[in-house]
């Protein structure tokens, strides 16, 4: 396993945590099919503050909103997420002094909830049984309708999302891997694939762009099925990707993703998250088609420690509001009222 970094990851003395964003390492991983296959290079995003690639997006959205005047000191941010984007926002909000309310499905793990509360975020849990997989989006929209002072940055439509990967992730890839034949990434919001792909095109790379989706989904056409691979195929058609920009889509089963995660941990010492397993499984599929000289690059959006605890089981049938009184006031509704909105 070889290692490539584009710059020292040590911050200068007195630097803010936010200045430590990016310059994550790239490691070479050998396919389980042997050394005759193409080489796969994996960018380890858990080395960002907050432990994931979404911290890049969170910081970029906040800084762009500050620059435009949309976000002013003391503002309250509201975002429908409880995953990695939520952690990134919580870190940036803590450093910059913003209030943050996160709306998250009531199926998320207690570990994630505890982490977000420790970082100062107020949590509103949405009822996934009554409102479906997009319950957190529905509740957040209602809260925004009732309180115009809330600022929602909305990673699914905000151009700062792919911009973060154009300026950061993509630029780093170009420096770390001067030649690339394939770039492989799962599609959730689509920001990673879109931003990196555009940076590659602008650097005159001829890399083919390969999207990854869970088995049974067609994310470019809006077909989604329930699956356990958090972070990809999230029930929203990406606003950032045109089907013509993607050379190929590869579907990966949950079993393939988990087997790849186990292989990486036991053979390379890389304990990565669920979507990372799917990305690498797809990269290995590309690698099997080619000989050693081909360069396949992909990304590990986060590490595996966030997935040690199962997601919440047996949630209450109505949403629960979690956190201190500011979160309740921001929600602007009681638990029973929210539950009636189906």
> Residue 341 domain-assigned?
no
Q: What percent of the chain has pLDDT over 90?
A: 70
Catalytic residue among 43, 54, 112, 221: 54
Domain, as residue range, for 197? 3-8+15-49+164-303
The residues that bridge with 340 in the sheet, in sequence order, are none
Q: Is the pLDDT of residue 144 over 80?
A: yes
The residues that bridge with 270 in the sheet, in sequence order, are none
pLDDT class of 7 with cuts at 50, 70, 90: very low
Q: What are the tens digits of pLDDT across the range 92-121?
A: 999 999 999 999 988 777 888 899 999 999
Structural domain count of the chain: 2
Q: What are the tens digits of pLDDT across the range 236-295?
A: 889 999 999 999 999 999 999 999 999 999 999 999 999 999 999 999 999 999 988 999
Q: Is the pLDDT of residue 43 over 90?
A: yes
Residues 89, 77 contacting (CB under 8 angstroms): yes
Residues 193 and 266 grouped into a single domain: yes
pLDDT of residue 306: 81
Residues 226 and 296 grouped into a single domain: yes
Q: What is the mean pLDDT of the chain?
A: 87
The residue among 339, 316, 327, 306 whose CA lies nearest residue 109 is 306
Residues 194 and 295 grouped into a single domain: yes
Residues 39 and 145 grouped into a single domain: no
Residues 185, 298 contacting (CB under 8 angstroms): yes
Mean predicted confidence (pLDDT) in 74-90: 94
Show the tokens assigned to 29. 């991983």
Residue 54 known to be catalytic: yes
Mean predicted confidence (pLDDT) in 111-133: 89
CATH number at residue 317: 3.40.50.1100
Q: Is the pLDDT of residue 214 over 90?
A: yes
Sheet strands (E) in the chain: 3-4, 26-29, 39-44, 76-79, 99-105, 122-126, 182-186, 208-214, 248-252, 295-300, 321-322
Spatial separation of the C-alpha atoms in residues 274 and 296, rounded to whole Å: 19
């Amino acid at each position: 396993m070889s290692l490539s970094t584009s710059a020292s990851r040590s911050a200068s003395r007195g630097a803010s945590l936010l200045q430590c964003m990016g310059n994550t390492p790239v490691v070479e991983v050998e396919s389980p099919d042997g050394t005759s296959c193409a080489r796969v290079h994996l960018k380890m995003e858990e080395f960002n503050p907050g432990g994931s690639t979404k911290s890049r997006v969170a910081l970029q959205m906040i800084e762009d909103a500050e620059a435009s005047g949309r976000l002013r000191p003391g503002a309250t941010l509201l975002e429908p997420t409880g995953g990695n984007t939520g952690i990134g926002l919580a870190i940036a909000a803590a450093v910059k002094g913003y209030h943050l309310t996160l709306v998250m499905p009531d199926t998320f793990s207690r570990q994630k909830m505890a982490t977000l509360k420790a970082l100062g975020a107020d949590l509103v849990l949405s009822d996934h049984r009554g409102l479906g997989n997009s319950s957190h989006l529905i509740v957040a929209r209602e809260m925004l309708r009732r309180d115009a002072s809330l600022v929602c940055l909305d990673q699914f439509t905000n151009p700062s999302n792919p911009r973060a990967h154009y300026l950061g992730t993509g630029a780093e890839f170009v420096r770390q891997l001067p030649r690339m034949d394939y770039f492989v990434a799962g599609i959730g919001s689509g920001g990673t694939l879109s931003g990196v792909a555009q940076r590659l095109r602008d650097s005159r790379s001829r890399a083919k762009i390969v999207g990854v989706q869970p088995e049974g989904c067609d994310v470019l056409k809006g077909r989604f099925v329930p699956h356990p691979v958090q972070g990809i195929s999230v029930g929203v058609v990406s606003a950032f990707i045109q089907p013509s920009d993607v050379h190929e889509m590869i579907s990966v089963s949950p079993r393939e993703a988990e087997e790849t995660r186990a292989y990486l941990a036991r053979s390379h010492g890389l304990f990565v998250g669920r979507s990372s397993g799917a990305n690498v499984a797809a990269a290995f599929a590309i690698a099997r088609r080619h000989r050693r000289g081909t360069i396949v690059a992909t990304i590990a959006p986060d590490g595996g420690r966030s997935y040690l605890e199962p997601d919440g089981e047996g949630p209450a049938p109505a949403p629960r509001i979690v956190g201190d009184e500011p979160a309740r006031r921001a929600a602007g509704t009681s638990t029973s009222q929210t539950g009636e909105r189906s």
